[in-house]
A and B are shown apart, each in its own frame.
Chain A
């Protein structure tokens, strides 16, 4: 920040936002909106060379070429791998193709950052994670909320534990996206196991698990308003401590053009309320350097470390964190092994929904 500006972050730095310490050659597969955002931010990260772009759709390749990207363009991943020889890949292809592309890359020992969910089924997700672990190949999944300035702060505050143990957690993930059957079919990828939970709320689910740990039990009820997939979901997760974490998700709520996440956490020493605008803390007794009383931290009070903004801070920080890992740095917080926990909970939620909201037990993992 400039000399006049001090951030008021209470709890420290954002997660791994470092750029790679050596040059990394990167390719992007899947050139829809997400793929182009990745291509744009990758071009701005120091020590990153965008060496190839791939999409099977000629019209999409033409549009991306029209934007002005000069990296060689390919119609298939094998051609990109053979000719551009990337050291890492960002895979943003549609869900129906995603897992196969990730597998192909990991089998070639190429590190991958994939859009979420990185596979349509839990079994496939587990197999890919095992493959990456066996190959000792970095594998991460897109979880932008972790890098949103407000929610990065929330994570640090909660991990510092000035509020003590959580007693009750409620969250919501809302977006105005689906208001008829054709729209639901267009938004949900072919072969998708679910609707709003799998497509929009998975990031919030991942974030809640990162902050509060893996639940021992989960249950969900869903509403199908416009088609075969759920448009709204009411989720309850029970932590090993017995604390209940709730998540309401909908992509059929008017007034939310941009995705909106809210987390409210009542703890033994106070309360935290976070939205995309700000985090508010009410601390009862001063603890661990957090003063008693009310504190509000808006976006302007928090660190903004991305050096290029295309659709927000998160894309840059997520990509640079992944590539820093590829270049020998610390494993990224959004690595697939951690994302897998959210996929496990997701599957339990769908099982519960099929059983009318019955609780489904989950294995307790760190």
Chain B
């Protein structure tokens, strides 16, 4: 096993395997080792259409999602990788316990994603319309409502506005990290926008949170970040035994994961249901993934399967 991740500098982990009836386990410090991903509920997924219909039916009510979140907290996962959707907010409102969140920005439904224009302004407008609803509930969304006259469309200047709007109304201490959605990450990557990657990480870290980038081009992103000498807290991307979505090629991606000093959180572990979660997790860890982000669509009994992954963590 060649988990170079162990040698990487990261804050010491706290032991958090014990739970009490009154307080949920404390998530470990440092880049997350285990996240429960809700991305299939609101993002592109490799799950088959049949599986997706099953998942959507299962999580139609916020109460169902709340139960799964509560179970994930008891595992304990280091966070839940999710967009701040109205559904998530409703599920969190059902819970008395705090759920550590790694928030993917912006929150886009699959329908919105398919029609999304080239820049940020549509996403900001969509987010603001949600924020206005939050503000009516008495939550401060002031940062998100700043005027757009300065630098419209500029990723560097406008992303903070989008981020503020997205996390408005969430319990601040529950937000452990902010991750940029793969569509925006990959656009900026394609454009070679080094300044944006720098400013995003700086802005998020300045707010006391961890900064991450979700990508569908993991090998390419790691190579560029290395070239630019940038080190966000982590990146999230596809890593699976089938090699599915491993760009630019599985060999190049694996070489970059080994070479990179940036913690990689593996997603799309089961390659759309082809690979088993335990085998995929072992594969990802052996090839240098720092952490795992199994998706709701990749688990049947979230608590049991996540606990098993935690047990097998080296």
Contacts and interface: CB of A to CB of B under 8 A. Distances in A.
A258 interface: yes
B247 A308 contact: yes
Given A31-B118, A176-B111, A308-B217, A70 B190 contact: no
A67 B117 contact: no
Given A5-B241, A275-B49, A299-B272, A308 B220 contact: yes
A5 B243 contact: yes
Contacts of A67: 118-119, 153, 155, 187-188, 191, 193
A68 B195 contact: yes
Contacts, number: 150
Contact of B117 (A3, A41, A63, A68): A63
Contacts of A278: 48
Nearest to A277: B48
B197 to A, nearest CB: 9
B193 A68 contact: yes
A44 B223 CA distance: 13
Interface string A27-53: 000011101100111011000000000
Interface residues of B, number: 56
Which bucket holds chain A's interface residue count?
35 or more
Residue among B49, B121, B193 with the most chain A CB within 10 A? B49
Interface in B127-166: 151-156, 158
Contact of B46 (A40, A62, A299): A299
A301 interface: yes
Contact of A43 (B109, B191, B251): B191
Residue among A5, A275, A306 with the most chain B CB within 10 A? A5
B274 interface: yes
A60 interface: yes
B209 to A, nearest CB: 23
B48 to A, nearest CB: 4
A358 interface: no
A14 B193 CA distance: 32
A288 interface: no
A33 B109 contact: no
Contact of B187 (A40, A258, A304, A306): A40
B220 A63 contact: no
A100 interface: no
Interface of B: 44, 46, 48-49, 53, 109-111, 113-121, 151-156, 158, 183, 186-188, 190-193, 195-196, 216-217, 220, 240-251, 254, 271-275, 283
The 6 residue pairs across chains A and B that have the minimum distance between CB atoms: A68-B193, A63-B119, A257-B110, A40-B190, A68-B191, A63-B153
6 contacts: A2-B243, A33-B115, A60-B119, A304-B244, A308-B217, A310-B190
Given A39-B191, A59-B153, 9 more contacts: A2-B250, A5-B242, A40-B190, A66-B152, A68-B193, A177-B115, A299-B272, A306-B247, A308-B217
Interface of A: 1-5, 31-33, 35-36, 39-41, 43-44, 59-60, 62-70, 176-177, 255, 257-258, 260, 275-278, 298-301, 304, 306-311
